[in-house]
Structure 1
Amino acid sequence: MDTITAPRRLPRIGDWADFAGLTRVQDEALPGALAAAATSPFYRTRRDGVPATRAELSRYPLTTKADLRDAYPFGLLAVDRSELATYHESSGSSGTPTASYYSRDDWADLIDRYCRVRVGIQPSDTFMVRTPYALMLTGHVAHAAALSRGATVVPADNRSLATPYAKVVRLLHDLDVTLTWSLPTDTLLWAAAARLAGLRPDRDFPALRALLVAGEPLSPARRERISRIWGVPVVEEYGASETGGLAGECPHGRLHLWADRAIFEVYDPAAGRTSAEGAGELVVTPLFRTAMPLLRYHIGDLVEVSNRDCPCGWALPTVRVLGRFGTDDGLTQAGLEEVVFRLPAEFGVLFWRARTTSYGVRIQIEVAAPHQESAVRRLAAGVEEAFGVRARVEALPPGSLVPEQLLTAMTDVLKPRGLFAGDEDWDRALRYY
């Protein structure tokens, strides 16, 4: 991507002193967001039209993922196609993909938000990007942000056969990687792969200074475990392909919504109402999106939002992300993960899975034989205490959920070719693997 420079002044932390000041920052930006939406075919032709004020916006119908799928590919485009910089899609696991697209103005905002990361990105950094590239947004944003700060980027896409876990460990070690960007689970897989390679995560990667993570719920207990394993801070971000980064950590380690760049609401589906804080499903109206404006976009993630003051003084709402799946008894991935990672570190439990059942929840964990009985007993009791849910816990030997072969294999990645020697396997002529 060409160098992105901001043609407009974006809000900076410190431009407001309190939550009333933050509201004024939002109110100054909102007319531009509403004007952009008025040029979008989706909103222009919607029965409700386009709201003209913040009060009207608060009563406006939510924009859903189904709306985005129905508008595929360019039904939400609010600028000329010539103004687009990139086009992206969700994973499309539900069938029709969710499209999103960004202008160069939008990219200036995406990069600026990412660069708020509390550990900073420096020219001296070697930054490994281990999130998907291809049509998804996350890897491209981190890549562009790191380049904008002069860092060296290692593009280790986690959806490519060219970078298996064993190679990631080699790159981390040999290139003196200082920062990484990945799913939280990936950092545990690297640790397991490093140990199989005879390396100690907390000692044999001295250049590493922080692990930047996003893409799945991260409980305090798992965060602490990852940090202890690697001996560096774990820094969380939160966002979505349709919006880019939505929240980041302050110096006190609390996750704050970037409410100077978007208006956030918490939706209660049972009541059909939204509020500025509390528990529910996140709704977002980006304030600086030009190519694809979104009004009250219902992301659907379960969150807890608070407008209480934080020692950092940013005057931005704090958020706890619980994931996209919850049960009527309050069981969420983040909540269950918290109980799993409260097990003593010496048990070595890194990998687990669970499913709801008619009697409660079934959980499988990898744990070495000496600790299996104790781990099963303590985890079942912890789940029942935390959620009032019966848990059937099954202890599996290490390698059952994450096979050793996955962590040690070095996949043979080929270029397709047509001419082969007589003793070569020409059935692989058009394969990349």
Structure 2
Amino acid sequence: MNAHLPQLGDWTSAEELLAGQEKQLALTLSWAARSPFYAQRFGSGPTPADPADLAGLELTSKQDLRDNYPFGLLAVERERLATYHESSGTAGQPTPSYYTAEDWQDLAERFARKHVGITPADTLLVRTPYALLLTGHLAHAAARLNGATVVPGDNRSLATPCSRIVRALHDLEVTLTWSMPTECLLWAAGARAAGYEPGRDFPALRALFVGGEPLSPARRSRISRLWGVPVVEEYGSTETGTLAGECPAGRLHLWADRARFEVYDPATGRCAPEGSGQLVVTTLFREAMPLVRYNLEDTVEVSYEECPCGWQLPTVTVLGRSAFGFPVGGRTVTQHRLEELVFGLPDEDEVLFWRARAEPDVLRVEIEAAPDRAAGAADRLDRAIRDRLGVPTRVTALPPGGLLPTELLRAMPDVVKPRGLFGPDEDWDKALLYQ
């Protein structure tokens, strides 16, 4: 373990936490100055070295990372790099990210900082992409750092359809999982399609680690009741690794001992230590690609109010893109508020999947519901939307499989390997079309 990395309990107050940040900041900025991008941004004067210098620097944007693809932010020799990654953004341009082996120690430790610990007795199913993203590799490294067995389920592979994941969860006695929250609902439907009951037939399971998409309290609670285990949330990105994790009191805390955080108000152009706005990150222990005042562009609420856990770290509520909505009937509808209402329906309605279209004059919503409760579920949601959101709506309840075809949950497609020689009755047009 790298002795220089702070550990929970090394500070006892917000003041000590900030003092630790400032102690590391000068070294971080000197690392950043080695990269072509920050060398140019800092200019020919003295290298920034303290919080006052930091406050005067321009924010680093996602576009800056894309414009300096692939190695414009590299601050070490190429020989020292351990991994290269790109984010899953939809901008059409790669957003690069890279780490040394020492950087990976920091990454893995932060991911494992959950109030439900990872132990050698655990089997962790990783159900997020490996590919060029960081997320799958991050959970894998954290599990191995703590001695756990890893099941690399991936999330973009034809080799691991939902049915195979359900089989692995059951047969391998998986104790922990890492996925997006939506995956937990898909597994539940897949388990039932296979004849299992999520909260009964997976007794080894003890927690679901989730991240990668905004999660409303109602959906989180529904997933937890469905599986009968805690849902443990975290927040981060491929560019930064884990930035926040959940404490025993159920609140999400920013790892402010490993990074410095600000909240940016796009309307005024000002940054503050807390409040509402976009999260800005300055990494403190990342040498390969230090990020200085990097604007993640995620909408958050940050607070330094005391938390019962005693961690002495700021709390964060991540709204992400769900903070933005669409106009309907003169009001704005956001996914976060709508999701609260959908998953506020009684469990007996068996609503796991839904979709909505925001039109100028009406909000159209479709849900899957138990056949004997479909009419009631649609009526309950219709009334909740009209009462709580104040918009005209039209809710339609579909039978199970209406939104998510059941055959997709049961499917086990073949994974074809490349070959050149075929028999007389085989389709040789597939010689190169393997998948």
1:208 counterpart residue number: 205
2:156 alignment partner in structure 1: 159
Match of 1:185 among 182, 187, 194: 182
Shift of 1:231: 0.8
Structure 1 residue 92: deviation in Å? 4.6
Counterpart in the other structure of 1:268: 265
SS at match of 1:430: coil
Q: Which residue of 2 aligns with 1:33?
A: 28
Change (3 A) 1:276 1:335: farther
Partner of 1:379: 381
Tell me, yes or no, if the aligned pair for 1:415 and 1:431 is still in contact at 8 Å. no
The farther-off stretch of 373-382 and 139-148 is 373-382
SS at match of 1:154: strand
Moved more, 354-363 or 74-83: 354-363
| Residues 1:237 and 2:271 are matched in the alignment | no
Provide the C-alpha distance between the structure 2 equivalents of 1:377 and 1:424, rounded to a whole number of angstroms.
53
Aligned to 1:254: 251
What is the CA–CA distance in structure 1 between the aligned matches of 2:79 and 2:385, rounded to whole Å?
54
Consecutive aligned runs of 4 or more in structure 1 exceeding 6 Å deviation: none
1:303 shift after superposition: 1.2
In structure 1, the residue matched to 2:10 is 15
Offset of residue 90 of structure 1: 1.3
Instruction: Report if aligned partners of 2:42, 2:48 keep a CA contact under 8 Å in 1.
Output: no
Structure 2 residue 171 is matched with structure 1 residue 169? no
Bigger shift: 101-110 or 89-98? 89-98
Residue 337 in structure 1 maps to residue 332 in structure 2: no
CA-CA distance at 1:394 after TM superposition: 3.0
Alignment deviations for residues 204-261 of structure 1 (CA, whole Å, 9 cap, x no partner): 1111111111111111111111111111111111110000000001111111110111
TM superposition shift of 1:306: 1.2
- The residue number in structure 2 matching 1:327 is 325
Say if 2:130 and 2:137, in contact at 8 Å, map to a contact too. Answer: yes
Query: Relative to 1, partners in 2 of residues 1:59 and 1:401: Cα closer, same or farther, differing over 3 Å?
Result: farther
Which stretch shifts more, 345-354 or 43-52? 43-52
Counterpart of 2:138 in structure 1 is 141
Aligned-residue offset at 1:377: 3.2
**1:417 aligns to what?**
419
User: Conserved in 2, the CA contact under 8 Å of 1:217 and 1:333?
Assistant: no
* In 1: Cα distance, 2:272 partner to 2:389 partner: 26
Q: Answer yes or no: is the 8 Å Cα contact 1:127–1:146 preserved in 2.
A: yes
**Which residue of the other structure, out of 393, 396, 399, is the alignment partner of 1:397?**
399
Residue deviations 1:372-403, cap 9 Å, x none? 33333332333344444444333233212211
In the alignment, what sits opposite 1:362? 364
Structure 1 unmatched ranges of 5 or more: none
* Cα distance change of structure 1 residues 246 and 331 upon mapping to structure 2, 3 Å threshold: farther
Counterpart secondary structure, 1:324: helix
Is the contact made by 2:364 and 2:393 (CA closer than 8 Å) also made in structure 1? yes
Aligned to 1:428: 430
Letter of the 1:409 counterpart: A
Determine whether 1:125 maps to 2:127: no
Give the C-alpha shift of residue 273 in structure 1: 1.5
Contact 2:26 2:48 in 1 (8 A): no
Name the CA shift for 1:285/1:385 in 2 (closer, same or farther; >3 Å).
farther
Change beyond 3 A, Cα 1:371–1:289: same
- Determine the C-alpha separation between the residues in 2 that align with 1:53 and 1:222: 42
- Alpha-carbon deviation of 1:358? 1.8
> Secondary structure of 1:342's partner?
coil
Residue 62 of structure 1, CA deviation: 1.1
- AA aligned to 2:65 is L
2:73 is equivalent to residue 72 of structure 1: no
Give SS of 2:325's match: coil
CA distance in 1, matches of 2:172, 2:301: 39
Query: CA-to-partner distance for each residue in 1:100-131, whole Å, 9 max, x for gaps?
Result: 00011110100111121211111111111010
Q: Deviations over 1:275-316 (max 9, x none)?
A: 221222111111111111111111111111111100110111
Give the AA of the match of 1:382. Answer: A
The two structures have a TM-score, normalised by structure 2, of: 0.94
- 1: CA distance, partners of 2:191 / 2:204: 15
Instruction: Supply the distance in 2 between the matched residues of 1:413 and 1:87 (Cα, whole angstroms).
Output: 27
1:296 aligns with 2:293: yes
One-letter amino acid of the counterpart of residue 121, structure 1: I
106-115 vs 45-54, which moves further: 45-54
2:114 & 2:181 partners in 1: Cα distance?
16
Structure 1 SS opposite 2:165: helix
Distance in 1, Cα, partners of 2:405 & 2:43 = 53
Q: Distance in 2 between matches of 1:251 and 1:413?
A: 42
Identity %: 62
Q: In structure 2, how many angstroms separate the alpha carbons of the residues matched to 1:78 and 1:379? A: 53
State the shift of 1:430 in Å: 1.9
Which amino acid in the other structure matches residue 425 of structure 2? D
Superposition TM-score, scaled by structure 1 size: 0.95
Q: Please list the CA deviations of residues 142-169 of structure 1 after superposition, one character each: whole Å capped at 9, or x if unmatched.
A: 1011111111111000110000000001
CA contact (8 A) 1:39 1:79 kept: yes
CA contact (8 A) 2:369 2:397 kept: yes
State the distance in 2 between where 1:360 and 1:296 align.
Answer: 41
Question: For the Cα contact (< 8 Å) 1:323–1:333, is it kept in 2?
Answer: no
Q: Partner letter of residue 399 of structure 2?
A: P
Is this contact kept in 1: 2:280–2:294, CA < 8 A?
yes
Cα distance, 1:343 vs structure 2: 1.0
Aligned residues: 428
How far did residue 360 of structure 1 move?
5.6
Measure, in 2, the Cα distance between the counterparts of 1:389 and 1:266: 32
AA matched with 1:212: F
Unaligned runs of 5+ in 2: none
Say whether residues 1:111 and 2:113 are aligned partners: no
Give 1:180 deviation, angstroms.
0.6
